[in-house]
Chain A
Amino acid sequence: MTASLNAIGLTRRFGGLLAVSDVSLTIETGTLHAVIGPNGAGKSTLINLLAGELPPSDGRILLGETDVTAWPEWRRARIGIGRTFQRTNVMGNMTVLENVRLAAQVHATRLFRSAARDTGLIETARSALLRVGLDDAETEIAATLSHGRLRLLEIAIALAGQPKVLLLDEPLAGMGAEESAPLAELLRTLARDHAVLLVEHDMDVVFAVADLMTVMVDGRVLEHGTPAEIRASAAVRDAYLGHSVSA
């Protein structure tokens, strides 16, 4: 059985505002599911709800058979819901390897073991760095990395936690064309062994890498479908794509 993340009728209110309204979607291992929509459509809120940073006002979240709706963020991360942040969010004063190792040690059973002697952790951390192509930057202080490489570190941190589901919040934000091509390729390979939810504004990349898409407008799901179906949808073109193309 493949692990999947299920959102059922997910709703989040801020005061009187409905940031996310009755959103249901399923993300399966082996697929890259992109969520697109204009600014303020509720995409980041959706990720925060799935990751557990925000409690939903209504609805349920299942990982496989397990209902995790009431679980705190850290517990969800532990059973396999990994995430990245829209704004880079790392331990800036630590080295790249230390950042990733902290993520890997979440699963360590012996808290009072010498960190230097735990070679298994370091291997997990290194393989995460290798996968995103940061293996040459191990000893660099995170805050000194270029923006593009910080975005990669974000992903490496999420990978080091050995997640089943990856929630990626605009991993390409602020990247140049040169950097985004290899990252798009990485996203494809990540989808082979993970269930990936991708929130992204770069439509070229999204249509190139996504297996399935969900279009959100004003907190609601406007359309579900394959990239081809979304491209053909009149409703999507009216509500969203039309504007961004003409703009």
Chain B
Amino acid sequence: MTSAGLRGNLLLGLAALAVASMPLWASAYHMQLASTAMIAAMFALSLQLLVGATGLVSLAHAAFFGLGAYAVHLLKQAMGETPVVFLSLPVSVLAAGLAAALIGPFALRTRGFYFLMTTLAFGQMLFFLFHDTPLGGGTDGVFIQRPSLIWAVPRAQRPTVFLLLNLAVLALTYAGLWALMRTLFGHALLGIRANEHRMRAMGHNVQRLKLLAFVIAGALAGLAGHMAALTDAFVSPELLGWHRSAEALLMILLGGIGALHGPILGAFALTFIQEIGHLVTERQKLVEGAVILAAVLLLRHGLAGIRR
């Protein structure tokens, strides 16, 4: 996996500036849409640590995202009052990371198809936990109270505030992963993706490295989930379902599996395509299905690879 160089990061910075300037020229609706895309980008970025960096295709990832979102709701219920964001955010990250740390050791005993199937089953187990039991407030989801920010945000300012917050968190997530891929740990993950067998023969504890990646990715998915709960003030079991994981995989494929910044491109591209599709037809899934087919049949290196 390649990380964007200086020029690539400058371009990403310019795009971030464009998003940051949206309050000056865009409607509230479009700012909300941008927030949705950025949350999707955080989620897909966290999955890229597994897929692009380590070579692990996990279908459990949405469960950690959903867990991060539900943590906001459960925390409020446990406390009896609305938590501040400085409490709810770390709780979401920890809850998702902990779930990944519990599931990882089992799922990572397997490889290839088995890994796909076991992550699917474990992810759905968490889905059922919220779908079938009264724990999370029921099958259809619940409206939740947003964690409180430092100051009270008037309704009219919400799109602007959440846009900027999501942009900041996305930028931090990206910067964090960019730095992580430059550490010895990041190099080791790339080594596992390239040749797991040789890594083991060299003396790397591949299992431990994979588990670390799984937990970090899960915790970051929890962060994205927290931002989704904060932005939408709504959580539902669907957030945990494997279809969401598949959608994030689509963003990775669309953006380019070989590039760290690919998922950001993919998330924006998919949000854009879905929005256009929404205007043209009622059949949302038809559009998405056609996009995926086109992507797997035609786009081997994603949007990030088009320049090459």
Contacts and interface: CB of A to CB of B under 8 A. Distances in A.
Contact of B205 (A74, A93, A116): A74
A157 B200 CA distance: 12
Contacts of B195: 89-92
Contacts of B200: 72-74, 77
A235 B186 CA distance: 54
Interface size class of A (residues with CB under 8 A): 35 or more
Nearest to A80: B203
Contacts of A73: 200-201
Interface string B176-189: 00011011111110
Contacts of B184: 105, 108, 110-113, 115, 118, 121
Interface size class of B (residues with CB under 8 A): 20 to 34
A102 interface: yes
Contacts of A118: 184
B185 A92 contact: no
A28 interface: no
B215 to A, nearest CB: 13
A114 interface: yes
Interface in B154-204: 179-180, 182-188, 190-191, 194-195, 197-204
Contacts of B206: 74
A199 to B, nearest CB: 15
Contacts of B205: 74-75
Contacts of B204: 74, 102, 106
A192 B201 CA distance: 23
A108 B185 CA distance: 10
A115 B183 contact: yes
Contacts of A105: 184, 187-188
A33 interface: no
Contacts of A106: 202-204
A147 interface: no
B203 A115 contact: no
B267 to A, nearest CB: 26
Nearest to A94: B194
B1 to A, nearest CB: 10
Given A91-B195, A94-B194, A102 B202 contact: yes
Nearest to A142: B194
Interface string B200-233: 1111111000001000000000000000000000
A83 interface: yes
Given A89-B197, A91-B195, A98 B187 contact: yes
A53 interface: yes
Nearest to A118: B184
A191 interface: no
Contacts of B197: 89
Nearest to B190: A94
Contacts of A75: 203, 205
Contacts of B190: 94
B183 A91 contact: no
B258 to A, nearest CB: 10
B203 A74 contact: yes
B182 A103 contact: no
Contacts of B203: 74-78, 103, 106-107, 161
12 contacts: A74-B205, A76-B203, A89-B195, A89-B201, A91-B198, A93-B194, A102-B204, A105-B187, A106-B202, A106-B204, A112-B184, A115-B184
User: Lowest 8 CB-CB distances: which A-B pairs, in order?
Assistant: A77-B203, A91-B194, A106-B203, A78-B203, A103-B202, A111-B185, A102-B191, A112-B183
Given A101-B187, A102-B199, A112-B185, 18 more contacts: A72-B200, A73-B200, A74-B200, A74-B203, A74-B204, A77-B200, A77-B202, A85-B201, A89-B197, A89-B198, A89-B201, A90-B195, A91-B194, A94-B194, A103-B202, A112-B183, A112-B184, A113-B184
